[in-house]
Amino acid sequence: MDPTDAKLVAACQQGDRCAQQQLFDESHGRIFRLMARMVGEQDAADVTQQVYLQVYRQLGKFSGRSRLSTWIYRLAVNEALQHLRRRNRKKTQTLEYEPIDHVESHESRSDLAEVLEAALADLELELRTIFLLREVEELPYNAIADVLDIPEGTVGSRLNRARRELQQRLTQLGWGP
């Protein structure tokens, strides 16, 4: 276990509020961003709160076989999946988009962000999760494999599939290179 992680985990387990706040501060932004993209912005705050409740409850189970941040991502992904199962419905975007003008402007960048979010929301959850962990959170393949408890080779093949499907959805929404 990383010595810094070990100190932080030990302090949190002993009820040190400053250590707990440090753990929260160091990872909250990334976890919230991931939750917003996995479960939607309207539920992201609640799910993020549940993630940190799980982190503090299960900190005693952290074995140190992976980095603390990887372990937190794993808890976050599991919490998001449970939330989506409980909600028991697939979130869909019913907005229709006009093809985007290829002239760069602030408006077109904003439109592109909306189209990208819509395309991401339409991906299967496991593909979206892998894509977000790699491309947004910039986790290496081995960390993603740890978070999702799948082989590293599976991460690569699913990431390629996610990129292909995302490209197809972007094309369907009127975005083209």
Print pLDDT tens along the chain (177 aa): 677 888 999 999 888 999 999 999 999 999 999 999 999 899 999 999 999 999 999 998 888 888 899 999 999 999 999 998 888 654 455 444 444 444 444 445 567 778 888 888 888 989 999 999 999 899 999 999 999 999 999 999 999 999 999 999 888 877 765
CATH of region 1-90, choose from 1.10.1740.10, 1.20.120.10, 1.25.40.10, 3.30.390.30: 1.10.1740.10
CATH number of 92-177: 1.10.10.10
- Ranges of CATH 1.10.10.10 domains, the chain: 92-177
Cα radius of gyration (the chain): 18
- Ranges of CATH 1.10.1740.10 domains, the chain: 1-90
Distance in angstroms (rounded) separating the CA atoms of residues 39 and 81: 8
Q: pTM for the full model?
A: 0.72
Name the nearest CA neighbour of 141 among 157, 155, 125, 159: 155
